[in-house]
Structure 1
Amino acid sequence: MRHIPDTERRSRLARRHGVAPGLRQPDPEAATRAMTVLHSTEPATVYLSLHARVDGLSVEDVDRALYVDRTLVKQLAMRRTLFVLPRDLLPAAWGSASARVAATERKRVAKDIELAGIHVDGSAWLDQARAAVLRELDAAPDGLTALALREAIAHIDVKIDVTAGSVWSAGRVLTHLGLTADIVRGTNTSHWRVSRPRWTRMADWLGEVPPPLDERQGYAVLVGRWLATFGPGTVEDVQWWLGGTKGAVRAALADVAAVEVSLDGGAVGWVLPDDVEEVAPVEPWAALLPVLDPTVMGWKSRDFYLGPHGPQLFDRNGNAGTTAWWDGRVVGCWVQDPDGVVVLGLLEDVPAEGRACLEVEAARLSEWLQGQRVSTVYPSPAMKEAR
């Protein structure tokens, strides 16, 4: 069995994720494909993740890919998380990860509606709500905001206290319609750091909508893409990222003919059959990645690049804050000062060369942001301390 040590895993990360300055990608589409998907829970993450991987990127370049050419599309999928996917990956997600989450979400919505006493049959209520939204959007090919839909459709204009501090509203209906690929988050009506989309019929947004792959095919495509980006990884890594069952992961690994390799610490990892050969080392590099960046969130077991810093860089719910990287490892975080200038918050001693390279990246990011401050609801302990 081929052994892939942590040093090589870090070289693979640098080469394939486009984060090393000399290995960046040419455009938003290539950078997204390199990562399989981009996290989009916070809208700014998409722009900052792409800035980290594409030289000379502008906000307009990202907007072009998302809202003009529509080569990149927002889709709720794995782990009920919002991602940006390359357009050709949508059918795989629709038939597998999104369908799985849609089934779970239907049950939750129905239960909440029934417990609130709004309807005795929550599933029937959801079907009526979905139909009402689709009728409204049929007459608005450019889409409507959630507020406009709520004002137009009394059926979905409800609020339910699910738990303390959590309110159920019309967004849950839109979320379910998005999971089933009936609608999509279209044009953003706000700043790139804020998400206020016009919900749009998928057919209006994409034109011709391809059919979803069946579940097994969809999972195989997603796992194959994941291995190309993140491999080697363990079954547990893939299962965590995919949000599926271990059985689905093992079937997908078999379908893509994945090959076992050994990892440092004694774990068994998997790579694609044409990805067994050794990857050459990479010269030391520096990068600054945003909250929930796909590189940081790609694996369940992260010691090979986090070292001892995991508790300081993730919040209690497992959301990654900003990260500062030197030579394939996370060595700290970054924040912005009151003027919007990027400031490093290092968690360990970094050699002078590394500190200088990180300062270059901080200056590059500060210049790109032009004083615009990016807020987050997922600050890590390290970020809070650095502020």
Structure 2
Amino acid sequence: MIELSWAQVSARRLERQALAAPRTGGTQADVVAAMCGAHAQVMSAAELSIALRIDGLTRADVRRALWEERSLVKTYGPRGTVHLLPARDLPMWVDTLSRIPFAHNGFPEGIRMTPEQTVEVIEAIRVVLDGRDLTIDELSDAVVGATGPWAGDLVMPAFQTMWPRWRQAMAAAAHHGALVFGPPRGRKVTYTSPPPASAVPAPGAGGRPDEGASRDSGPVDGAVELLRHYLAGYGPATPDQFAQWLGAPRAWAARLFEAADAEPVSFEGRTAWVVRGDTAAPAQAPAGVRLLPYFDAYVVAGRPRELLYAGAAAARALAAGQAGNFPVLLVDGGVAGVWHQRRSGRRIHVTVETLRPLTRARRAELDDQVTRVGEILEGKPELTLGPVAVGPHA
């Protein structure tokens, strides 16, 4: 069995995530595909995640790819969280996410929708969004009009208000290819159909989604392809790690590893898997300084956490064991601090809290990263080294 060290795996992941050095060629879709999606609950963080990986890119370029070129789509991705995905890969994601077995509906009796109601809502969304961009209120009126008053019952507690019943099916609708986010209308979010470039087919007959339920329980082509993408970017990995990243049952993920014919390797004394034959690692040790934003894919998908967040990093940069809630300072492939940026007009105040002293060379690289953050966010950055007082993002 091939043996791989943490240093080798770190160097491999940095290279494949375009974090060893930004790409000078290729497209944003290529980079986002290698990331297996960019977390976009905080849109400025998604823009920074992508632009850091491509030489000369700015947030305006990311927005253009998303809203004008439509080479990227914003939708509900792994774990039901908002992500930017390549439009060309949307069929793979839909095929995977719509097949994940549904484990548990946390809504109590009287609030949760039946499988039949969920199917009805998803198909209503598919029809009413065809060729249209609708705000959430416009979409709600259209869905209730197409399904019935029961869908509009205000039964879901949300942010000191109540949402209509049908909204518990929004992630399932995205996972079945019925909706993606549309271009903002002023400050309002809109929803629309997937772009033509994605060519997402409707799920096959017999689907009974229940807020994410599967069309069947067997892993098939799309899921195998997604697993290979994941292993290429974040392997070696285990079925448990993949299941946690995707938001899928562990037994289902284990069967998927078998279907993908993944190859076992020894990773720091433990068995993990890579795409068969893909065991190479760079000869150079992991190196470089990077400022990664909230929920960057490198730290969210990277495992084991005790190696990525070694020593004091675990206590300072994880939130109850969860990665991504803090923007992190990455030094030589490992988390070595946290940071925060605050904008005031054109000025961007960047505070970096280091967990260990930086060499002169690493400090120079940090200065370069701060400059790059300013370029991406189209502002003038100012660096302060010191404690970060801002808590974790929810």
**Shorter-chain TM-score range:** 0.7 to 0.9
Matches within 5 A, 1:362-381: 362-371=370-379
Percent identical: 23
Kindly provide the CA deviation profile for residues 181-202 of structure 1, in whole angstroms up to 9, marking residues without a partner as x.
11221223347xxxx4321133
**Partner residue, 2:300:** 297
Does the CA-based 8 Å contact 2:340-2:350 persist in structure 1?
yes
Taking the aligned partners of 2:236 and 2:391, their CA distance within structure 1 comes to: 33
Question: In structure 1, what residue type is equivalent to 2:65?
Answer: A
TM-fit CA distance, 1:334: 1.4
Does the CA-based 8 Å contact 1:21-1:286 persist in structure 2?
no
Kindly provide the CA deviation profile for residues 13-64 of structure 1, in whole angstroms up to 9, marking residues without a partner as x.
2211101235566431121122122112222222010121112112332123
Does the CA-based 8 Å contact 2:22-2:55 persist in structure 1?
no
Question: In structure 1, what residue type is equivalent to 2:87?
Answer: R
Does the CA-based 8 Å contact 2:75-2:179 persist in structure 1?
no
Structure 2 CA distance for partners of 1:369 and 1:74, relative to 1, 3 Å: closer
Taking the aligned partners of 1:345 and 1:238, their CA distance within structure 2 comes to: 31
Question: In structure 1, what residue type is equivalent to 2:279?
Answer: V
Provide the TM-score with structure 1 as the length reference: 0.81
Kindly provide the CA deviation profile for residues 112-171 of structure 1, in whole angstroms up to 9, marking residues without a partner as x.
5x525xx9x745554554455455434xx2311112223554744443254896854454
1:384 is aligned, of 372, 387, 390, to 390
**Partner residue, 1:42:** 42
Does the CA-based 8 Å contact 2:299-2:323 persist in structure 1?
no
**Partner residue, 1:355:** 363
The structure with more helix, counted as a fraction of residues: 1
Taking the aligned partners of 1:327 and 1:163, their CA distance within structure 2 comes to: 41
Matches within 5 A, 1:65-214: 65-100=65-100, 103=102, 107-108=105-106, 112=108, 114-116=109-111, 122-123=114-115, 125-127=117-119, 129-130=121-122, 132-138=124-130, 141-151=131-141, 153=144, 155=149, 156-162=151-157, 167-169=162-164, 171-190=167-186, 196-202=188-194, 206=197, 208-210=199-201
RMSD: 3.2
Structure 2 CA distance for partners of 1:47 and 1:306, relative to 1, 3 Å: same
TM-fit CA distance, 1:249: 2.2
Question: In structure 2, what residue type is equivalent to 1:302?
Answer: R
Between 1:145-154 and 1:236-245, the stretch displaced more is: 145-154
Does the CA-based 8 Å contact 1:91-1:211 persist in structure 2?
no
Gaps of 5+ in 1: 374-380
- Secondary structure, counterpart of 1:96 in structure 2: helix
Taking the aligned partners of 2:18 and 2:318, their CA distance within structure 1 comes to: 23
Taking the aligned partners of 1:137 and 1:362, their CA distance within structure 2 comes to: 41
Structure 2 CA distance for partners of 1:76 and 1:22, relative to 1, 3 Å: closer
Are 1:344 and 2:352 counterparts?
A: yes
Taking the aligned partners of 1:382 and 1:314, their CA distance within structure 2 comes to: 14
TM-fit CA distance, 1:237: 1.8
Does the CA-based 8 Å contact 2:341-2:351 persist in structure 1?
yes
**Partner residue, 1:378:** none
TM-fit CA distance, 1:262: 1.0
**Partner residue, 2:215:** none
- Secondary structure, counterpart of 1:21 in structure 2: coil
**Partner residue, 1:377:** none
Structure 2 CA distance for partners of 1:205 and 1:383, relative to 1, 3 Å: farther
2:277 is aligned, of 274, 278, 290, to 274
- Secondary structure, counterpart of 1:232 in structure 2: coil
**Partner residue, 2:331:** 326
Question: In structure 1, what residue type is equivalent to 2:88?
Answer: D
- Secondary structure, counterpart of 1:197 in structure 2: strand
Does the CA-based 8 Å contact 2:94-2:200 persist in structure 1?
no
Question: In structure 1, what residue type is equivalent to 2:290?
Answer: A
TM-fit CA distance, 1:241: 1.3
Structure 2 CA distance for partners of 1:142 and 1:277, relative to 1, 3 Å: same
**Partner residue, 2:384:** none
Structure 2 CA distance for partners of 1:311 and 1:36, relative to 1, 3 Å: same
Structure 2 CA distance for partners of 1:9 and 1:267, relative to 1, 3 Å: same
Does the CA-based 8 Å contact 1:15-1:23 persist in structure 2?
no
Question: In structure 2, what residue type is equivalent to 1:327?
Answer: D
The structure with more strand, counted as a fraction of residues: 2
Question: In structure 1, what residue type is equivalent to 2:85?
Answer: L
**Partner residue, 2:257:** 253
Does the CA-based 8 Å contact 2:135-2:189 persist in structure 1?
yes
TM-fit CA distance, 1:227: 0.6
